[in-house]
């Protein structure tokens, strides 16, 4: 994911690129938004930029081996945790690692503009609600304490961080405060007030503004080939 692929939020993208360029890389950021504003897309573009071999013009090249792996959400130093629950394939003890194939497929199909409702539909969990549990926390701690494989920065993205249950959130506190060197945590949230204060206090807050009508309209025209009138009415 390149910044150029993100809908709108040019100023946020520029700020993130400047942080990377200056070496002021926060070890933990909480990117909070209203649904559909592109926080996950921005997070993915940011970590791809951080690890790109040939960045230029404030964006990743999209062509180096690192970019290609990040773009496929399959880089060995890119780790995700996200809400899960049981379904017909995972009947007990759900955790993110058991759904990683589905997660990558979902990111591709949604163009990284993810939301909980469509994610749960993608998993076919019926009316059940997901959470991020202590098994996820244990797994991410184990992974981040290993050496990096090939990237400059190890990355952990916690999508819908407000779904961390209390045990998982508490288990992550020490790692959020004192992560291994060259480790970046990016927490994505639509309801940051539901996060424990002890989690929020360990992060740099980055607000993702609501997309403008023009930004949404342009995206509908470019991505879905709507005519401008239909795009305006839909937006």
125-145 residue pLDDT tens: 988 999 999 999 999 999 999
pTM as predicted: 0.90
Residues of 65-100 as b/e, b for ≥16 C-beta within 10 angstroms? ebbebbbebebebbbbbbbbbbbeebeeebbbbbbe
Query: Token digits for 121?
Result: 């539909």
**Stretch 183-189: mean pLDDT:** 96
Residue 151 has pLDDT above 50, yes or no: yes
**Stretch 75-79: mean pLDDT:** 97
Q: Is the dihedral of CA 145, 153, 133, 167 positive or negative?
A: positive
pLDDT of residue 219: 62
Strand segments, DSSP code E, in the chain are 28-32, 78-81, 154-159, 183-189, 204-207
> Would you tell me how many other CB atoms lie within 10 Å of the CB of residue 154?
26
**Stretch 152-179: mean pLDDT:** 96
Using left for φ > 0, alpha for ψ between -120 and 50, and beta otherwise, residue 101 falls in alpha
Report, in angstroms and rounded to the nearest whole number, the Rg of the chain calculated over CA atoms: 17
pLDDT band at 36 (very low <50, low <70, confident <90, very high): confident
pLDDT band at 28 (very low <50, low <70, confident <90, very high): very high
What are 206's strand-pairing partners? 31
């Amino acid at each position: 994911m390149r910044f150029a692929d993100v809908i709108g939020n040019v100023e946020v993208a520029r700020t993130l690129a400047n942080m990377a360029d200056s070496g002021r890389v926060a070890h933990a950021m909480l990117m909070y938004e209203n649904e559909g504003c592109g926080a996950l897309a921005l997070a993915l573009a940011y970590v791809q930029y951080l690890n790109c071999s040939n960045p230029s013009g404030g964006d990743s090249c999209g062509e180096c081996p690192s970019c290609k792996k990040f773009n496929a959400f399959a880089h060995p130093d890119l780790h995700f945790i996200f809400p899960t629950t049981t379904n017909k394939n995972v009947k007990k003890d759900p955790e993110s690692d058991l759904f990683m194939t589905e997660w990558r497929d979902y990111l591709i199909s949604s163009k990284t503009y993810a939301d909980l409702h469509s994610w749960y539909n993608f998993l076919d969990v019926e009316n059940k609600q997901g959470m991020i549990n202590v098994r996820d926390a244990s797994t991410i701690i184990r992974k981040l304490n290993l050496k990096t494989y090939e990237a400059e920065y190890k990355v952990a993205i916690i999508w819908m961080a407000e779904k961390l249950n209390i045990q998982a959130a508490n288990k992550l506190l020490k790692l959020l405060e004192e992560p291994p060197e060259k480790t970046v945590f990016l927490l994505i949230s639509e309801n940051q007030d539901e996060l424990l204060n002890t989690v929020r206090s360990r992060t740099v807050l980055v607000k993702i503004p609501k997309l403008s009508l023009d930004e949404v309209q342009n995206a509908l025209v470019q991505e879905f080939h709507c005519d401008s009138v239909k795009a305006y009415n839909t937006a």
